[in-house]
Structure 1
Amino acid sequence: MDATTLYPIGELSRRTGLSVRTIRFYSDSGVVAPTTRSPAGYRLYDLDALLRLELLCTLRELGMNLATIQRVLDRELSVAEVAAAHADAMDVQIRVLQRRRSMLRAVAGRGSDPEEIKLMHRLTQLSGEERRRLVDDFVEGTFGAVDADPAAVAMVRAATPDLPDGPSSEQVAAWVELAELVGDEDFRARMRRTARYQAAGRRLDIENDAGEDLMEFTRQKVAEAMESDIDPLSDRAAPLIDDLVRRFAEAFARTPDTEFRNWMARQFEEAHDPRVDQYWRLVWIVNGWKVVPNLTPVYPWLIQALRKERDA
């Protein structure tokens, strides 16, 4: 290829794969102007024009607009600068698409109705700053009192939920449930009550009074039920709960009736409310942490089972 050779527009088309009409458009736009014209008035292009046209094709394939390409060809911008800017822009587009894909999969998995879909979309579209503000409002509304336990506040803040840029459908669903949960005043009251126990690692009165042997037996039996995937609200859980209630009633010299079951549930709820336990599970899912920290995993199951028996 000779630097002094001039190419007619047809040859340029053959070498670049662009149509003659497209090359004329770029020529008329001044992006790749002809080097000269033949005596008959036909456009002729030199090697530099051919190389500019090939670069233009490459940049267009990468999604750059014509105005930006013109500045690159005129050396007002470097290819590196433009490539970096476009890569950043594509990162944003990819994150948006990933979030939309995750939301759609969550919608499909949950069988969401139109109102829930609107809520999910609104919540997942919040910026990082808006999501942090939502959590800060929850912490302030829950622990903003003068007598708030600093250890409890620190524990909640240390595990702040933070939806990633490219969340999975499970993380989207967990974030939506979490966002609804933290706005619930009843939940905030439960969190205030239980967080003090969890942050301080305090034992419950019922644990102290029942004795370590009974508590260890209870944890073991409930853990076995959980490992066997026994639903605490199912009939399969009833024999275990009946036995545990009888044992606790003997320890406390009480009658193993509905009133006593209700009392047991309230005692365990002081530090292990099922909704609070669900909050921590959702936080771990949203943050993508591998191990879900359940401070005492058997108690939420036990509380649900006791409440079911009470309502029966």
Structure 2
Amino acid sequence: MNDNELYPIGDAARRSGLSVSAVRFYADAGIVEPAHLSGAGHRLYDVDAIARLELVRTLRDLDTDLDEIRRLLEGDTTLHNLLTTHLEIVERQERTLRARRAVLRTLIRQGGTTAQADLMHKLVSMTDEEREQTIDDFWNDVGEGLDVPDGFVDRLRAMRPILPADPTAAQLEAWIELADLVRDPAFRDAVRTYLHETYTTDEWQAMATEPMQEFIYESGGPLVEAVLAAYRAGESPRSPWAQAVVTRFMEAVTAVSADTALTPEIRNRMADAYRRLPDIERQIAEEDAASEDPVYDDTHGRYLSLVTVVNGTGPEEDTLPYAWIADAMRAPDDGA
């Protein structure tokens, strides 16, 4: 286009991607006026006016308000500020639509009622403080009268959902399910019963103590990761690297669980236990499936799995290499 040339309204419309009626409307509204009127009263547009029309078309495609566009073209704001403000609006709309989609998908899946729709809308609209209080109320109720070592319930309470500022639909759906569950008295009773029946036995009572819980959730993590790193690197279970990391892990476990030194006999017992773990896990799963009492996957396990989805952490994908660990655990003078 020639910078000095004037174009009739039809050409201006074609070059800007607008209809003639839209170009005429923006002129009458004082948004983009023609550069010149011919003697016959025809509207003529120069290159600058056509460029402004193109900008108006783009901003209107983004649902930008006409008054905002007028302020921009009159120099009362900058394009950067206008686009930044509009982006914030679009992102708020996106979050709202995502929340609605999560509610609708959950209602469709559950065959929900009007009352459930109202409840789910309230759940996704909760403030951070309201979500925190919902989880605290759950653990306060579950922990009431639970015969476990001091601090155990607080350790469980620390595993809590933290919905991000910009959650995905899956995170919102998980939060809806979790919030609905923790408010349900039947679910609270089931979790309390499972924890009571599990952690009042002699074997599991020790697992609930503060030292063991600290090891499981904090200090033990790096030790387990060091063992897995050796395995992933293709090390032999009897290599110096594997022996060093597995021995450190076993020493820590023995110190916490038995408060004693690691001996060859303890090493071999732990190795035998690790080799049997897959069979034990399968047996527990079969017993849980046949049980009429509350079980892990339906109670505390369900709570934790939903928390991992809400938090975006997800479960560990690695399956523990039980046989490799068992071989590494065995005392050096026993099959080394």
Aligned equivalent of 1:278: 302
Higher mean C-alpha deviation, range 67-76 or range 193-202: 193-202
Segment drifting more, 79-88 vs 133-142 = 133-142
Residue 224 of structure 2 corresponds to none
Q: Tell me the TM-score normalized by structure 2.
A: 0.59
Structure 2 residue 288 is matched with structure 1 residue 232: yes
Displacement of 1:27 in angstroms is 0.6
**1:29 CA drift (Å):** 0.8
The 10-residue stretch of structure 1 (57-66 or 132-141) with the greater mean CA deviation from structure 2: 132-141
Name the SS of the counterpart of 2:33 in structure 1. coil
CA distance in 1, matches of 2:102, 2:297: 30
- Give the aligned partner of residue 54 of structure 2: 54
Query: What SS is found at the alignment partner of 1:56?
Result: helix
Q: What is the match of residue 291 of structure 1? A: 315
CA drift at 1:11: 2.3
**Residue 198 of structure 1: aligned partner:** 208
Letter in 2 for 1:54: E
| Contact 1:7/1:46 (8 A) holds in 2 | yes
Aligned to 1:166: 167
Counterpart Cα distance in 2 of 1:42 and 1:285: 63
How far the C-alpha of 1:110 sits from its partner, in A, is: 3.3
User: Which residue of the partner structure matches residue 94 of structure 1?
Assistant: 94
Which sections of structure 1, spanning at least 5 residues, go unmatched? 203-207, 238-261, 294-312
Change (3 A) 1:287 1:115: same
Displacement of 1:144 after TM fit?
Answer: 9.6
Per-residue CA deviations over 1:146-187 (Å, capped at 9, x if unaligned) read xx9446425522x22123433344x44543343234333646
**Residue 103 of structure 1, CA deviation:** 2.9
Bigger Cα displacement from structure 2, 35-44 vs 102-111: 102-111
Aligned to 2:226: none
CA deviations 1:204-257 (Å, max 9, x no partner) are: xxxx9xxx99xx59966441236xx647344xx8xxxxxxxxxxxxxxxxxxxx
User: Structure 1 residue 65: deviation in Å?
Assistant: 1.5
Deviation at 1:12, TM superposition (A): 1.3
Deviation, 1:34, is 2.0
Q: Is the 8 A contact 1:155 1:199 kept in 2?
A: no
71-80 vs 277-286, greater mean Cα deviation: 277-286
TM-score (norm 1): 0.63
Structure 2 counterpart of 1:76, one-letter code? D
Instruction: Return the offset for 1:124.
Output: 2.1
Q: Write the mapping of 1:1-312 to structure 2, written as runs, cut at 5 A.
A: 1-139=1-139, 149-150=150-151, 152-157=153-158, 159-164=159-164, 165-169=166-170, 171-183=171-183, 184=185, 186=189, 198=208, 200=210, 201=212, 221-225=279-283, 230=286, 232-234=288-290, 275-291=299-315
Name the CA distance, whole Å, in 1 between partners of 2:277 and 2:103: 38
One-letter amino acid of the counterpart of residue 109, structure 2: G
Q: Look up the SS of the partner of 1:232 in the other structure.
A: helix
Match of 1:253 in 2: none
2:332 aligned partner: none
CA offset at residue 116 of structure 1?
3.4
Give the C-alpha shift of residue 199 in structure 1. Answer: 5.8
- Whole-angstrom distance in 1 between the partners of 2:66 and 2:3: 26
Query: Is this contact kept in 2: 1:151–1:199, CA < 8 A?
Result: yes
> In 2 relative to 1, CA 78–218 (structure 1 residues): closer, same or farther, beyond 3 Å?
same
> Partners of 2:315 and 2:209 in 1: how far apart?
19
Corresponding residue of 1:248: none
Counterpart CA distance in 2 for 1:34 and 1:100 is 44
CA distance, structure 2, for counterparts of residue 10 and residue 173 of structure 1: 51
Code of the residue aligned with 1:280 in structure 2: it is: L
Q: CA deviation at 1:26?
A: 0.5
The alignment partner of 2:168 has SS state of coil
RMSD of aligned residue pairs (Cα, Å): 4.2
- For the 8 Å contact 1:13–1:23, the answer to whether it is kept is yes
Deviates more, 1:129-138 or 1:83-92: 129-138
3-state SS of paired residue (2:126): coil
